[in-house]
Amino acid sequence: MSTENELSTPVATADNDYSADKIKILEGLEAVRKRPGMYIGDTGVRGLHHCVYEIVDNSIDEALAGFARNIHVTIHVDNSVTVEDDGRGIPVGIHKTAGVSAVEVVMTKLHAGGKFNEEGGAYKVSGGLHGVGAAVVNALSESLHVEVRQNGKVYKQSYKRGVPVGPLKEVGVTDKRGTISTFKPDPEIFEVVEFSADTLANRLRELAFLNSGLRITLTDERQEPAKTQDYCYDGGLVQFVEHINKSKQKLHEKVIYFSHSKDYLSIDIAMQWNDSYTETISSYVNNINTIEGGTHVSGFRTALTRVVNKYIQETGLGKNLKEDGLTGDDIREGLACVISAKVPEPQFEGQTKTKLGNSEVEGFVNTTVYEKLVDYFELNPAIAKRIIQKAVDAAIARIAARKARDLTRRKTALDWGGLPGKMADCQEKDPALCEIYLVEGDSAGGSAKQGRDRKNQAILPLKGKILNVEKARFDKMLSFEEIKVLITALGAGIGKDDFDINKIRYHKIVIMTDADVDGSHIRTLLLTFFYRQMPQVIERGYLYIAQPPLYKVKKGQKERYLKNENDLAEHLLASGLEGMQIKAGGKVLASSQALSSLKAASRFSKSIDRVARKLHPELLRSLVTHGVGPSTLENKERFQEIMVKIAKHAQEREIPFEFTLDKDPEHNAWVATAHSVIHGSKRVAPINVATLDSPEYEELCKHYQAMLAMGDGPYTVTIEGKPEITCATGEELAEKVVELAKSGMVIQRYKGLGEMNPEQLWETTMDPARRTFLKVSVEDAVDADGIFSVLMGDQVEPRRQFIEENALRVRNLDI
What is residue 360's three-state secondary structure? Answer: helix
Alpha carbons 766 and 228: distance in angstroms, whole number: 43
Alpha carbons 520 and 543: distance in angstroms, whole number: 16
C-alpha count within 13 angstroms, C-beta hemisphere, residue 194: 1
CA–CA distances in Å: residue 126 to residues 130, 200, 232, 479, 485:
10, 20, 21, 48, 48
Strands 280-285, 335-342: parallel, antiparallel or unpaired by DSSP? Answer: parallel
**Phi and psi at residue 561, in whole multiples of 5°?**
-105, 135
Q: Answer yes or no: are the C-beta atoms of 539 and 526 closer than 8 Å.
A: no
What is residue 96's three-state secondary structure? Answer: coil
DSSP state, residue 550: S
Strands 773-775, 215-220: parallel, antiparallel or unpaired by DSSP? Answer: unpaired
**Partners of residue 461 on adjacent β-strands:** 439
Long-range contact list for 624-632, CB < 8 A, 24+ apart? Answer: 624/697, 624/700, 624/701, 624/704, 625/704, 628/687, 628/692, 629/692, 629/701, 630/225, 630/669, 630/689, 630/692, 630/693, 632/692
C-alpha count within 13 angstroms, C-beta hemisphere, residue 407: 12
CB atoms within 10 A of CB 801: 14
DSSP state, residue 553: E
Alpha carbons 212 and 734: distance in angstroms, whole number: 54
- Could you tell me which of 550, 563, 552, 527 has the C-alpha nearest to residue 438? 527
Q: How long, in residues, is the chain?
A: 815
- Could you tell me which of 681, 670, 604 has the C-alpha nearest to residue 642? 670
514 is known as an active-site residue: yes
**Phi and psi at residue 94, in whole multiples of 5°?**
-75, 130
Total H helices, total E strands in the chain: 27, 29
Strands 81-85, 70-75: parallel, antiparallel or unpaired by DSSP? Answer: antiparallel
- Could you tell me which of 455, 457, 450, 479 has the C-alpha nearest to residue 467? 479
CA–CA distances in Å: residue 199 to residues 61, 157, 213, 223:
21, 29, 22, 16
- Could you tell me which of 505, 567, 499, 514 has the C-alpha nearest to residue 545? 514
- Among 54, 86, 440, 618, the active-site one is 440
198 is known as an active-site residue: no
Alpha carbons 479 and 491: distance in angstroms, whole number: 17
Alpha carbons 731 and 712: distance in angstroms, whole number: 12
Alpha carbons 653 and 676: distance in angstroms, whole number: 13
518 is known as an active-site residue: yes
CA torsion angle 112 114 120 124 (round to 10): -120
Alpha carbons 145 and 617: distance in angstroms, whole number: 48
What is residue 494's three-state secondary structure? Answer: coil
- Among 221, 279, 518, 783, the active-site one is 518
CB atoms within 10 A of CB 416: 11
- Among 242, 393, 516, 780, the active-site one is 516
478 alpha-carbon distance from chain centroid: 30
- Among 57, 186, 514, 618, the active-site one is 514
Measured at the CA of 657, the angle between CA 654 and CA 659, to 5 degrees, comes to: 155
Q: Which amino acid is at 661?
A: L
Residues with catalytic annotation?
440, 514, 516, 518
